[in-house]
Amino acid sequence: MYCKHCGAEIEDGVRFCTKCGYDQMNPPSAGQTTRRRGVSDRRPASCLVLSILTALCCCTPFGIVGIVYASKVDSAWNSGHYDDAMEFSRKAKTWSLLGIGLVLLFYIVYIALIIAGVPWAMWWDNEDIFYTCLV
């Protein structure tokens, strides 16, 4: 079957064209559009690669949640649920970036504690200072 609006090949029985979003069952009358106002014509980024990298390299639980939301973006967009697709895309990006930020924060605190701990450990190991304080 081919789209009545753009001519793209689509599966039989599909209500919306996966390329242009045209409603195949109820074509609009003159002057009407099949898409809702305010919805972008561009498919939102799924952020699947970012979510997978977050799961593998940074924070596995946050990456897995990102992967789940990223996998829902394309199916929601293709079924005509444009708002849901945008929301899933936003959530996938948020969870992935949150996982990366959490790991970066952990390493910053870790390095700060090492830097702060080195002078303290050097002071503690210096026996002369320790005995001088006791006398």
What is the structure's pLDDT at 128?
A: 58
Residue 42 lies in a domain: no
Residue 13 lies in a domain: yes
Residue 41 lies in a domain: no
Residue 39 lies in a domain: no
Per run of 10 residues, the mean pLDDT along the chain (length 135 residues) is 71 75 64 48 87 91 94 89 91 95 94 81 60 55
Query: In terms of domains, do 12 and 70 share one?
Result: no
Query: In terms of domains, do 60 and 5 share one?
Result: no
What is the structure's pLDDT at 34?
A: 47
Measured in whole angstroms, the distance separating CA 32 from the mean position of its chain's CA atoms is 34
Could you give the number of structural domains in the chain? 2
Cα torsion at 115, 116, 117, 121 (round to 10°)?
A: 100
Query: In terms of domains, do 26 and 55 share one?
Result: no
Asked whether the whole model's pTM tops 0.75, one would answer no
What is the structure's pLDDT at 39?
A: 52
What is the structure's pLDDT at 32?
A: 44
Q: Where are the alpha helices (DSSP H) in 38-81?
A: 48-53, 60-78
By residue range, what is the domain housing residue 75?
48-134
What is the structure's pLDDT at 53?
A: 93
Residue 11 lies in a domain: yes
Query: In terms of domains, do 128 and 71 share one?
Result: yes
What is the structure's pLDDT at 124?
A: 60
